[in-house]
Amino acid sequence: MTTSTLTTKTLGTLGSTPAIGLGLMGMSALYGPADRDESIATIHAALDAGVRLLDTGDFYGMGHNELLLHEALNGIDRDSVDLSVKFGALRGPDGDWYGFDARPGAVKTWLAYSLQRLGTDHIDIYRPARLDPDVPIEETIGAIAEMIEAGYVRHIGLSEVGAETIRRAHAVHPIADLQIEYSLISRGLEGEILDTCRELGIGITAYGVLSRGLISGHYAPDQVTVSDFRSHTPRFQGENLTRNLDLVEALRGVASDAGITVAQAAIAWVASRGDDIVPVVGARTRARLAETLGAAAVTLTDEQLAAIEAAIPLDQVAGTRYAAEQMAMLDSEK
Please state the domain extents for the chain. Answer: 8-217+264-299
Listed residue (215, 195, 217) closest to 273, CA to CA: 195
Determine the straight-line distance between the first and last CA of the chain, rounded to whole angstroms: 43
Helix (H) or strand (E) holding 6: none
pLDDT of the residue at 270: 98
Q: Which alpha helices (DSSP H) does the chain contain, by range?
A: 36-48, 64-72, 104-118, 137-149, 163-172, 192-200, 238-258, 262-271, 286-296, 302-311, 324-327
Helix (H) or strand (E) holding 224: none
Rounded distance, CA 132 to CA 136, Å? 8
pLDDT of the residue at 2: 43
Strands 53-57 and 153-159: unpaired
Partner residues linked to 277 by β-bridges: 204
Listed residue (279, 289, 282) closest to 65, CA to CA: 282
pLDDT of the residue at 1: 37
Residue range 8-217+264-299 forms a domain whose CATH class is alpha beta
Rounded distance, CA 213 to CA 210, Å? 5
pLDDT of the residue at 17: 97
Q: What are phi and psi of 187, to 5 degrees?
A: -120, 30
Is 60 one of the catalytic residues? yes
Cβ distance 316 to 241 under 8 Å?
A: no
Count of C-beta atoms within a 10 Å radius of residue 4: 16
Cβ distance 128 to 178 under 8 Å?
A: no
Residues of the chain falling short of pLDDT 50: 1-3
pLDDT of the residue at 265: 98
Cβ distance 139 to 103 under 8 Å?
A: yes
Listed residue (13, 54, 331, 10) closest to 156, CA to CA: 13
Task: Indicate the DSSP class of residue 265.
Answer: H
pLDDT of the residue at 227: 61
Three-class DSSP category at 88: coil
Active-site choice (60, 182, 219, 322) = 60
Helix (H) or strand (E) holding 97: strand 97-100
